Amino acid sequence: MLDLRKRFLEEAFAPNGTPVRNIDVVVTAVRLPNGAIETITNYQGVETKLKYLRDAYDDMFCLKANPDVEIVGYMIY
């Protein structure tokens, strides 16, 4: 498992697998197939976004539906 994904899971989820409740903002940096980096900021639906990032991306933080899309950074606060 990629260290970035491992750290994300440790920071975003409690040991029982539920999202940490005190997270207000999720920012992800995503490398697109053309090499461009896109930043996405979520202020609403944070729990849903965390679950999506956990479930839609593989252990290397590549999108399961399109492995050319990869999370290369994130911030949660």
pLDDT in tens, 29-48: 999 999 999 999 999 999 99
First to last CA, the chain: 23
Please count the structural domains in the chain: 1
Average pLDDT estimate for 16-23: 93
What's the domain range around 29?
3-76
How far apart (Å, rounded) are the C-alpha atoms in residues 38 and 59? 20
The contacts of residue 39 (CB under 8 Å, 6+ apart) are 27, 28, 29, 30
What rounded mean pLDDT belongs to the chain? 97
Give the three-class secondary structure for 22. coil
